[in-house]
Amino acid sequence: MTHIHSNSFTVKKSSYFILLAILLCLFCSELQAQTEERKKPVRAVTTTDMPTVSDNIELDLRARKHYTTEDIRVMPTLKKKQVNFMYTQSYLPDPKNSYNTDCSKIPVDEFDVYDYNKQRKEKERVTIVVADKTCKFLVVLLSWDEVKQQNKKIESEQ
């Protein structure tokens, strides 16, 4: 009787070991797949990558960083105009220039609003501090309501 119990224990132990080995293999293969995905080169869109666009609307250089060449190629004219508004006019340099002590000119032409959109408020403007390579300056983000209103205006002009 002891002998049978011992075999039963060994079978259970072996089953757990096999199950653990299978789970480990699945985990390792998933980890390897994720690693391979990360190794794929990521290439920024440059002006030479831009396809010829029949509508003659080009995306602002700051916006191009956030879209693939294919996305831009198939993007409708309306969407391009709305994206350009977001990247070029959905914010204002602080009119008082009160924070800017380090630079002579506020580099708003280089300001990429993408990372700051999460700080926008629904119904009111927000003033944020932007740290550039050489200085810090204030930017006023339009509210989401103002952005939506402008997008509707762009749409109505189509």
Query: Which DSSP string do the residues of 117-134 spell out, in sequence order?
Result: GGG--SSS-EEEEEE-SS
With 80 as the cut, is the pLDDT of residue 89 above it? yes
With 50 as the cut, is the pLDDT of residue 10 above it? yes
Report yes or no: 149 and 122 within 8 Å, Cβ to Cβ: no
CA gap 99, 58 in Å, rounded: 33
pLDDT tens profile 94-153? 766 666 555 666 666 778 899 899 999 999 999 998 877 777 788 899 999 999 999 999
- Each domain of the chain, given as residue ranges in start order, spans 1-40, 42-89, 90-158
pLDDT reported for residue 148: 97
Report yes or no: 115 and 107 within 8 Å, Cβ to Cβ: no
With 50 as the cut, is the pLDDT of residue 25 above it? yes
With 80 as the cut, is the pLDDT of residue 3 above it? no
Residue 33 in tokens:
């797949």
